[in-house]
């Protein structure tokens, strides 16, 4: 019998079955961090883009959580200044996928399947993930997920018109830095492939981040555990569905709940299940 969405949310909010290893991405070519399951071959991988002025350390909990569910997750620590190049950041995200695909990771030689790659990001890192997904040539990605995505230069909205793989975009309801209308919603509405846009209730621009950072003096909001928990569960369900081919957690993606209300959905055959 299939699990109910609330049960799936509870399950995916907790760490998965894999022990997790943490490594330095610089050892394989780029500054940053990489998390992997303790062992495994031909694993799916996700490159994650940090937000404006944010260090990758503010997303370690999310990256570790995804790794515990079987994903290799890597976040480059590049373009962290006040005037980052979004184009170069997108290139760094693609290079990150190439790096983790091209080398064995960890003491037991963990490997990544080049046909199971995805991109994700927060704020400008989300916009850069869209730019990276739209770029031509290898590596090719199979899914893109963002939270509080911000517009970039060149425009992520224009890049979204070229992205045909599934997309999940989570907007923060109280985001004053990248309001949904001109950012996440605009990207989702331009998306060429199947896409879902959700609004995270009671969430600000920095709600998904972890710990303290001086940038909170400049940017609106602060970390919020309820938002982090919800993002972890939705990202995990999305990537398990689209990178591993399993439909076990699809009901969570079809669930319309007030905590993450569905604003746009071109992915489901049926209407979302009401909360």
pLDDT of residue 274: 34
pLDDT in tens, 141-173: 999 999 999 999 999 999 999 999 999 999 999
Looking at per-residue confidence, does 135 or 274 come out higher? 135
Residue 4 is given by DSSP the state: P
CATH fold of the domain at 5-262? Rossmann fold (3.40.50)
**pLDDT more than 90, % of the chain:** 85
| Res. 68: pLDDT tops 70 | yes
pLDDT of residue 1: 41
| Per-domain residue ranges of the chain | 5-262
User: Which pLDDT band holds residue 275 (cuts at 50, 70, 90)?
Assistant: very low
| Res. 29: pLDDT tops 80 | no
- The number of beta carbons lying within 10 Å of the beta carbon of residue 176 is 11
Q: Which of 162, 50, 58, 65 is nearest to 96 (CA)?
A: 50
pLDDT of residue 207: 96
Entry field: residues in the chain: 275
pLDDT in tens, 80-128: 999 999 999 999 999 999 999 988 777 778 999 999 999 999 999 999 9
């Amino acid at each position: 019998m299939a699990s109910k969405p609330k049960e799936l949310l509870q399950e995916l909010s907790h760490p998965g079955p894999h022990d997790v290893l943490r490594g330095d991405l610089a050892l394989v070519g780029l500054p940053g961090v990489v998390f992997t399951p303790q062992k495994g071959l031909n694993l799916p991988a996700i490159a994650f883009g940090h937000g404006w002025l944010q260090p990758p350390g503010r997303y370690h909990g999310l990256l570790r959580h995804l790794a515990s569910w079987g994903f290799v997750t890597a976040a480059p620590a590049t373009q962290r200044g006040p005037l980052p190049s979004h184009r170069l950041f997108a290139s760094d995200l693609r290079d990150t996928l190439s790096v983790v695909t091209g080398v064995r990771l960890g003491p037991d030689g963990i490997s990544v399947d080049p046909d199971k790659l995805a991109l994700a990001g927060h704020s400008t890192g989300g916009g850069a993930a869209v730019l990276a997904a739209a770029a031509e040539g290898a590596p090719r990605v199979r899914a893109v997920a963002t939270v509080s995505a911000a517009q970039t230069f060149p425009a992520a909205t224009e890049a979204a018109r070229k992205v045909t793989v599934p997309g999940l975009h989570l907007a923060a309801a109280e985001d004053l830095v990248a309001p949904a209308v001109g950012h996440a919603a605009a990207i989702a509405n331009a998306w060429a492939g199947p896409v879902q846009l959700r609004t995270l209730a009671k969430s600000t621009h920095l709600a998904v981040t972890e710990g303290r950072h001086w940038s909170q003096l400049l940017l609106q909001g602060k970390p919020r555990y309820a938002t982090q928990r919800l993002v972890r569960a939705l990202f995990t369900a999305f990537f398990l569905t689209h990178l591993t081919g399993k439909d076990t957690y699809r009901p969570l993606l079809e669930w319309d709940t007030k905590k993450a209300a569905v604003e746009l959905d071109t992915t489901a055959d049926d209407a979302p299940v009401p909360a």
